[in-house]
Structure 1
Amino acid sequence: MRPLLALSALALSLGLALPAQAAPAPADKLDHALLWGRDIDQVSTVLAVKLGFQVRPGRNPGGVANRYIRLADQGYIELLGITRPDAEMDPGMQADQASLHGGAGSRTFGLHSAALDQAQAAMKARGLPATPIFTAAADDPDGQGPGKPPRWRLFAFERPVLSSNLFLIDYAAPKSDPASVADDKTARQHPNGARSLSAFWLLSADAAADKAGLEKLGVRGAIPVRVAQVGAKGYCVAVGPNAVLALEPDGPGVAADALRGGGPQVLAVSLGVADLDAAKRRVERGYETTLAAYQGLSGASFLAPTRADLGMLIEFHAETGKGPCEGLPPLP
């Protein structure tokens, strides 16, 4: 008899109650951030030419074009740009544009959930305004066709639960034919050596409110942090092997300027690279400047000076095999 079955039989025979199984975490890792450019070619050029990413083509449904920065750990950044004045936008896109006013930046991010239906039910049970689950169309040109599981499924929230907009998403198994597997592997290789998505930096006027929002979502274990490079303080909250940083300004600096100029936002994303020195040199050449390295939450790091171009910062760090929240001491 298997150990679990034996334990169950023993408990039943003795009249003992079995311990309840822990509910699955609502999210198991970061998935992707939505990054709007002033137009799709502008944001693509910055990512490719100045920063050394491979930018993959997407689609242009309804006048909103997208492209992708796909990473080896399955995380990614989705680039968006409006291509015509009468673009068709869903409510999330409309909310982003109402904040950005046609400018560049990120106001929405997604977490991956391998138990999407359970996560949605848990949100509703907690009184959170989870939407129905939306799915990719059966004739999605990037899917596997009618009769197959939809390429993606997601739900969002009718009202904000964090300072930036959030959705939870899951995917069907990818195409497994040799050509598709080879294409996917190639898509995740970048000249700058980027390999993994490790953190989203959420900026608001009240980091404690975002911390409380994450706790309502079932994402707990916040650790106080300071990020001196942008003049911010707040919390590091682990999401599987990754993290969400809930930050607020800590005196004058980049964070205060960004909040004053753009309101709550995804201030930055952190990416792990195979060779930090090589990535730093590439970005320095792209921006024709010298950049300072520092010891960040993920170890040796540097910030690319992308706020003017992208409305968002990109932190590159050496891959260490541990998450940004691991080993952090509490603040005094």
Structure 2
Amino acid sequence: MRLIPFVSACLMAFGVAQSAMAAPAPTTRLDHVLLWGRNIDEVTSIMSVKLGFQVRPGRNPDGVANRYIRFGDTSFVELLGITRPDPKFDPGMAEDQKALKAGPGSRTFGFRTTSLDTIRGALQTLNYAVTPVFSGPEGKKVGWHLFAFDKAPLSSNTFFIQYEADYAPDQFDPGNRDDYRVTREHPNGARELSSIWIVSADADADRKQLEKMGYGHAVPVKLPALGAKGFCVPVGPTSLLALQPDGEGLAAQTMAKTGPRVMGISLGVSDLGRAQRWVERGYEHAVTTYHGLNGESLAAPTLDDLGLTIEFHAMKAGALACSGAKS
């Protein structure tokens, strides 16, 4: 999706919060992350060749190109990259680039809802400084509406987004159901976005903000494989992990690079063995599996390449968000 100036790097589709302690609406879920590469061709090559994703074309206005990795559950990863020496950044993009030190990584993710106006009104009641609602894409039939925050309430940037029912930005023919299906099938078997991980020095501060916004029921978690601890917060069928370093490991390494950010994402795959073989072939060394929050999992060694970690896990039919977390 091409976002309008001011909010393009603030895209996060959050769930509904009707009071300080209200539960999110069932239609709320995590939607996508914005992932910056060193340049658009490099990040595309890493995602496709090393990791086995199908990358879909996007646009290249004002010197910042985007591309998409879409999943069968309608979630996606949006890839971003600078394509000329003098790109035109909106304030959110400029903030991301400064924090990421012009390197790869993500500081922005989105929550999707079907009740955008309700959520915005509720957050205003809770004294959050929210932006007006913006719609896009520019120059085309309106496909989405969103708002962000003048000051991010979490340690990573966030926004709320609502889509029109027939919006399909990566398809020339939205009526082509076969095209819709095949664009969401990946050689590595990835089918769904199950969780987004944010990391900071104070996971409990993020938990408290999420609870105030209407996302309660946090479950304490300790993740030795990632060197992290914090909380798993259900967001519809997905989960948001609010983490902080716990000794040495990926969380501490991530924080050391650029501070608070999106540390990683978890993706459900139809065949974990296939994903493992693809990652091992792409990175030319063995990758061990471990028992994570979503069951048997593996972490691709992508921190240096992408600035975040991509975890693959075997899909579980009917699994509830945070059901694998231990309190």
TM-score scaled by length of structure 2: 0.88
Larger radius of gyration: 1
**Alpha-carbon deviations, 1:224-260, whole Å to 9, x = none?**
0011111110000000011000000011222112112
Secondary structure at 1:123's aligned position in 2?
A: helix
Indicate whether 1:174 and 2:166 are aligned: yes
Give 1:181 shift: 2.6
**8 A contact 1:249–1:255 mirrored in 2:** yes
Counterpart in 1 of 2:67?
67
Indicate whether 1:156 and 2:148 are aligned: yes
Secondary structure at 1:57's aligned position in 2?
A: coil
Counterpart in 1 of 2:10?
none
Q: Taking structure 1 as reference, are residues 327 and 52 closer, same or farther at Cα in structure 2, changes over 3 Å only?
A: closer
Secondary structure at 1:128's aligned position in 2?
A: coil
- Taking CA–CA contacts closer than 8 Å with sequence separation of 6 or more, which of the two structures ends up with the larger relative contact order? 2
Counterpart in 1 of 2:129?
129
Indicate whether 1:101 and 2:98 are aligned: no
What are the ranges of 5 or more consecutive residues in structure 1 without an aligned counterpart?
A: 1-21
Counterpart in 1 of 2:139?
139
Give 1:215 shift: 1.2
Give 1:25 shift: 2.7
Give 1:98 shift: 1.1
Secondary structure at 2:176's aligned position in 1?
A: helix
% identical aligned pairs: 53
Give 1:324 shift: 4.2
Give 1:285 shift: 0.6
Secondary structure at 2:114's aligned position in 1?
A: coil
Secondary structure at 1:85's aligned position in 2?
A: coil
**8 A contact 2:23–2:214 mirrored in 1:** no
Cα distance in 2 for residues equivalent to 1:23 and 1:52: 37
Partner amino acid, structure 2, of 1:280: Q
**Alpha-carbon deviations, 1:171-211, whole Å to 9, x = none?**
11126967533322121010011000000010000000010
Cα distance in 2 for residues equivalent to 1:35 and 1:305: 16
Counterpart in 2 of 1:84?
84
Indicate whether 1:258 and 2:269 are aligned: no
Indicate whether 1:206 and 2:202 are aligned: yes
Cα distance in 2 for residues equivalent to 1:69 and 1:155: 23
Q: Taking structure 1 as reference, are residues 258 and 72 closer, same or farther at Cα in structure 2, changes over 3 Å only?
A: same
**8 A contact 1:73–1:196 mirrored in 2:** yes
**Alpha-carbon deviations, 1:237-291, whole Å to 9, x = none?**
0000110000000112221121122100101000000000111111111111101
**Alpha-carbon deviations, 1:144-190, whole Å to 9, x = none?**
x3xxxx21111110001000000111111126967533322121010
Partner amino acid, structure 1, of 2:31: D
Cα distance in 1 for residues equivalent to 2:174 and 2:33: 29
Cα distance in 2 for residues equivalent to 1:48 and 1:202: 24
**Alpha-carbon deviations, 1:286-331, whole Å to 9, x = none?**
111101101100011000000111011000000013134015331x
What are the ranges of 5 or more consecutive residues in structure 2 without an aligned counterpart?
A: 1-21
Q: Taking structure 1 as reference, are residues 137 and 306 closer, same or farther at Cα in structure 2, changes over 3 Å only?
A: closer
Partner amino acid, structure 2, of 1:314: I
Secondary structure at 1:233's aligned position in 2?
A: strand
Cα distance in 2 for residues equivalent to 1:257 and 1:111: 26
**8 A contact 2:24–2:215 mirrored in 1:** no
Deviates more, 1:250-259 or 1:115-124: 250-259
Counterpart in 2 of 1:225?
221
Cα distance in 1 for residues equivalent to 2:161 and 2:47: 24
Cα distance in 2 for residues equivalent to 1:175 and 1:209: 35
Indicate whether 1:279 and 2:275 are aligned: yes
Cα distance in 2 for residues equivalent to 1:206 and 1:58: 36
**8 A contact 2:254–2:308 mirrored in 1:** no
* Structure with the higher helix share, 1 or 2: 1
Partner amino acid, structure 1, of 2:159: F
Aligned residues between the structures: 301
Cα distance in 2 for residues equivalent to 1:90 and 1:183: 32
Indicate whether 1:244 and 2:236 are aligned: no
Return the match for 2:157 from 162, 165, 175: 165
Please give the root-mean-square deviation of Cα atoms over the aligned residues, in Å: 1.7
**8 A contact 2:107–2:262 mirrored in 1:** yes
TM-score scaled by length of structure 1: 0.87
Deviates more, 1:226-235 or 1:85-94: 85-94
Indicate whether 1:186 and 2:178 are aligned: no
Cα distance in 1 for residues equivalent to 2:23 and 2:232: 22
**8 A contact 2:143–2:167 mirrored in 1:** no
Counterpart in 2 of 1:5?
none
Secondary structure at 1:94's aligned position in 2?
A: helix
